[in-house]
Amino acid sequence: MYSKFKKSLSAIPLSLLLLSLDASATQLVDGCYATHQQVNISAREQNRLAIDGRRIGTVVPSQKGVISYVKDEQAGALYFTLASDTPNSGTVTLFVSDEQNPAATCKLILVPRPIAGEEIIIKPPAEARTSAAGRKGGDGRALAYQRHAKDMILQMADEESRDLEAIPVNQEIPLWKEARLVMLSKYLDGDLVGEKYRLTNVSDNDMLLVEQELYRKGVVAVVIENHTLPSKGQTLIFIVRGRKDNE
């Protein structure tokens, strides 16, 4: 089971595995000018769409009338939500271009979820980016940090991996009355800490889990193995966070 899960994780775009260190959720989208990229959005609340260092020029949905939006003319960003009559169980494709290079089109697949409003930031094509050298260095460090977090999740999901030593914990963590959460083990690797949990649905109803519910300060990445749990069903959850001074 874990080897299959590991393969599925490898196929997930890194931007969808990462959580912001802030209280809000920000998804950084790279590569959407070459191929479709999938992002989560709130099915009910306003979401924000922007292009890094540029102003949005046009936004065209694959189906007319599926989104309602207001453009922030000053910032060049877009605030949008699903139209009231749009089903929130399917997906919506958006074609986005910027004012600087209107011929280049970013293709986004929006996945409505029962979550708080999302911020989506598109990165322009690499050959057209005009960032200062210092900013490029910062982006490189951030990318390395993000890849480190992804690698930790892949290793935690693979029980045969010997690259990380599991520290047994087996401690129950208070969460919700409908769920029982147990921290199974902890992993230390440089400036990051990985935590492996088992969550059990102890209610009589089905349970829908979303990564945003597990946000807390310092978290870098969260992956849930199964998002929908029947009564008494279980799932593994993997969390990567920054390492504290006393760890």
Q: How many domains does the chain have?
A: 2
Could you give the percent of the chain with pLDDT greater than 90?
Answer: 26
- Would 18 be classed as within a structural domain? no
181 or 31, which is more confident: 181
Same domain, 174 and 216: yes
Is the domain of 96 the same as that of 151? Answer: no
Give the CATH number for residue 167.
Answer: 2.60.40
- Mean pLDDT score, 44-73: 89
pLDDT in tens, 80-124: 998 877 666 678 888 999 888 888 889 898 989 888 888 999 998
Looking at the fold, whether 84 and 43 belong to one and the same domain comes out as yes
pTM of the model: 0.49
- Asked if 117 and 27 count as a contact pair (C-beta separation under 8 A), the reply is no
In this model, does residue 158 exceed pLDDT 70? Answer: yes
Name the residue with higher pLDDT: 89 or 163. Answer: 163
pLDDT of residue 140: 59
Burial of 174: CB neighbours in 10 Å, binned 0-12, 13-18, 19+: exposed
Question: Is residue 10 situated within a structural domain?
Answer: no
User: Whole domain around residue 72: which residue ranges?
Assistant: 26-122
Q: Is residue 48 part of a domain?
A: yes
